[in-house]
Amino acid sequence: MKMQVQSNDGEFVPLSKSPIWEILQSYYKEMGVDAWQPNAVPNYVTTNPFIANSYAQVIDGFFQDYGRTKSGGSGSETHYIIELGAGSGRFAYRFLKHFFSKEQIALRKKMDIVYLMTDISDANIDFWRNHSELKPFIDQGVLDFAYFDVLAKDRIELVVSGKRLKPESMEAPIAVIANYVIDSIPHDFFTIRNGKLYERLVNCEVKTAEPEIQKIVKNTRLRYSDQPCSPNYYMDKNWNKILGEYCREATDMNLAMPVGGFLAIDRLCALTAGPVFLLSSDFGDSNIAAISDLPPRHVAQNGTFNLLVNYHALIRYAEINKGQAFVPDQAKFSLETVGILMNAGRKKPRQVASEFKRHINDFGPAEFFMMKKLAEKDFDTHDIGKILALLRLSRWDTKIFLGCAGSLLQQLPDIGPWVRQSVIDALLKVDEMYFRCDRTMDPAIVILRHLLALDAREEAFGVLKKNEKFLMITADGCMALAETYRQFGKNSEAVINVRRALALEPKHPDAHQFLAQISQGLDEVQPA
């Protein structure tokens, strides 16, 4: 692959002016949904069902505070939930399942709310548009898509509705979701030593002749140089004010200035005259004491470029511009989540503050992720009570289910009718919460195995028909279909799926034996 990125070989420049941001954009545009495959860009912590539900509750609180209800039979202006960098679509799907559930809709004031998935990758947008699991939300009128570069000044053209959003085009409140986004837009690094400020410049050696974008990222070499500078570093006085505050706060500190985040807040606030609520999660810090303990800042290369987000600076920028922030009042050890509210006027954010405290601060995505890591050490030994509790806590997470599936299957023969029904319900909810966007094992294969072991024939057939077109893509999926059809006495359909499995994987370890066994009772079928 030949890139037009200019490598600043031998030259040290501010990080915000370095080539890595252009490389990042090229990476996500070229990779599309493949950027989110296993062993590529880590994303579980910001896409699991628990964080999706937490966000749904907090954003619902925002609209309860500031939303405009429909009245007199006439529709109100559309209230948008804009997800920046929606990527694979996994988070969006799970958020939609929670936010637009019948229970949530029944409790919510009547408002016209649309979830807008955005990205800088046309390939991602095409993937979402054609994904059958998102289609019900499109048909319901609550989902749209758009290309959106949060740092550009062009208008946003919605794919489904054809509407155009441009600066000062709305008055309704807007909620914005930005997970793993702020760290992907420009930053600058600084160091304070003995009370003196230094800009931490970067030199990027970019091998643009590499054939694949992944190799360009992997083989880019970064070096750093600290040079004395003035706190009046920027053209923007508010940026300088924040930088000056750090200089007065500490004699020694290493920090990042999220200048791309500052610009993003400005751009989003320009879209509407109404309130704007940004909810963001990333690896980073919102407390100045935590920032004071950080070593010299650098860009990590973990599948792509990433860095710790200085949420404290973003919060100060919001406050300087008459906004307010919702931040954890305790240390978080795996993920930082903050809320930033702009243009709210004099109305108090009571409901959103309450939901943030409950679903983010007290026990939020960071705590869930740590508990999941603790629980997974004993996945293969948990009893059914613990497994069901974990699934309920996680809001029916696939990773937790697959981790516990072996232990669960072994215990099914000994359970009574009430526990049996609870397990069946849990299996169906895990299936409902799964969104297909990568090449990991399809949980429907395992769910079918468990439902058949429970003799839950009606439920198993429902899962089969719902997921059949997805399962027939892989050999293991075809074998799961074959076994389910055989259990229902549909041997012809079973044979068809075994042959599909062999076409996909001629040496599949179980397919030939399965086909030989089932073909004995079918005169019209010739053994393989």
Q: What confidence tens digit (pLDDT) does each residue in 209-246 have?
A: 777 888 888 889 999 999 999 999 999 999 999 999 99
pLDDT at 516 over 80: yes
CB-based contact 223:203 (threshold 8 Å) = yes
Domain ranges, ordered by start, for the chain: 25-184+263-363, 369-524
What integer pLDDT is reported at residue 525 of this predicted model?
43
At residue 73, the pLDDT reads 43
Helix (H, G, I), strand (E, B) or coil at 383: coil
- Over residues 270-301, the pLDDT tens digits come to 999 999 999 999 999 999 999 999 999 999 88
Could you give the CA distance from residue 308 to residue 299 in angstroms, rounded to a whole number? 8
Taking the CA of residue 380 as centre, how many other CA atoms within 13 Å lie in the half-sphere pointing to its CB? 1
What is the structure's pLDDT at 9? 60
pLDDT(7) > 60: no
The answer to whether the beta carbons of residues 219 and 189 sit under 8 Å apart is no
Over residues 314-332, the pLDDT tens digits come to 999 999 999 999 999 998 8
Check whether 121 has a pLDDT greater than 50.
yes
Q: Give percent of the chain above pLDDT 70.
A: 95
Q: Which residues does 94 contact at the CB level (< 8 Å), separation at least 6?
A: 47, 48, 49, 52, 53, 395, 433, 435
- Checking if the pLDDT of 76 tops 80, the result is no
Between 64-73, 115-124, 226-235, 410-419, the lowest mean confidence (pLDDT) is in 64-73
* pLDDT band for position 6 (cuts 50, 70, 90): low
When pLDDT is averaged across residues 419-429 and rounded to a whole number, the result is 98
Per the model's pLDDT, the better-predicted residue between 388 and 77 turns out to be 388
Q: Pull the structure tokens for residue 16.
A: 């915000």
Angle at 124 between CA 91 and CA 210, to 5 degrees: 115
Q: What is the largest CA-CA distance in the chain?
A: 88
Please report, for residues 8, 21, 30, 213, 473, the alpha-carbon distance to residue 205 in angstroms, rounded to integers and kept in the order given.
7, 14, 21, 15, 41
Backbone angles phi, psi at 98, to 5 degrees: -80, -50
What value does the mean pLDDT take over residues 303-324? 94
Q: CA–CA separation, 484 vs 468, rounded Å?
A: 11
Tell me: pLDDT of 341 over 60.
Answer: yes
What per-residue confidence (pLDDT) applies to 528? 39
Residues 369-524, CATH architecture: Alpha Horseshoe (1.25)
Determine the pLDDT at residue 36.
78
Residue position matching structure tokens 């399962």: 471
Provide mean pLDDT across the span 60-74.
77
- Per-residue pLDDT at 303 exceeds 90: no
**Residue closest to 309 by CA, chosen among 241, 236, 367, 255:** 255
C-alpha dist (Å) from residue 226 to 203, 290, 296, 297: 11, 22, 10, 11
Domain spanning 25-184+263-363, CATH class: alpha beta
Decide whether 25-184+263-363 matches 369-524 in CATH topology: no
Residue reference for tokens 């893509």: 473
Residue 81, pLDDT > 70, answer: yes
The CA distance from 134 to 159, in Å, is 14
Task: Find out whether 443 and 430 touch, Cβ atoms under 8 Å.
Answer: yes
Predicted local distance difference test score (pLDDT) of residue 127: 95
State residue 72's pLDDT score. 42
**Residue bearing tokens 């793993």:** 180
Q: What is the mean pLDDT of residues 55-75?
A: 81
Q: Which of 23-37, 45-59, 109-123 has the highest mean pLDDT?
A: 45-59
Average pLDDT, the chain: 91
- Specify the pLDDT at position 523: 45
- Selected residue with higher pLDDT from 92 and 305: 92
The one-letter amino acid at 329: D
Strand pairing category for 188-193 and 196-205: antiparallel
- Checking 96-105 for CB contacts under 8 A at 24+ apart, the result is 96/134, 96/137, 96/142, 96/143, 97/49, 97/52, 97/432, 97/433, 98/49, 98/52, 98/53, 98/56, 98/57, 98/395, 99/56, 99/59, 99/60, 100/137, 100/140, 100/142, 104/56, 104/60
Higher pLDDT, 327 or 38: 327
Q: What pLDDT is recorded for position 79?
A: 95
What pLDDT score does 484 carry?
A: 94
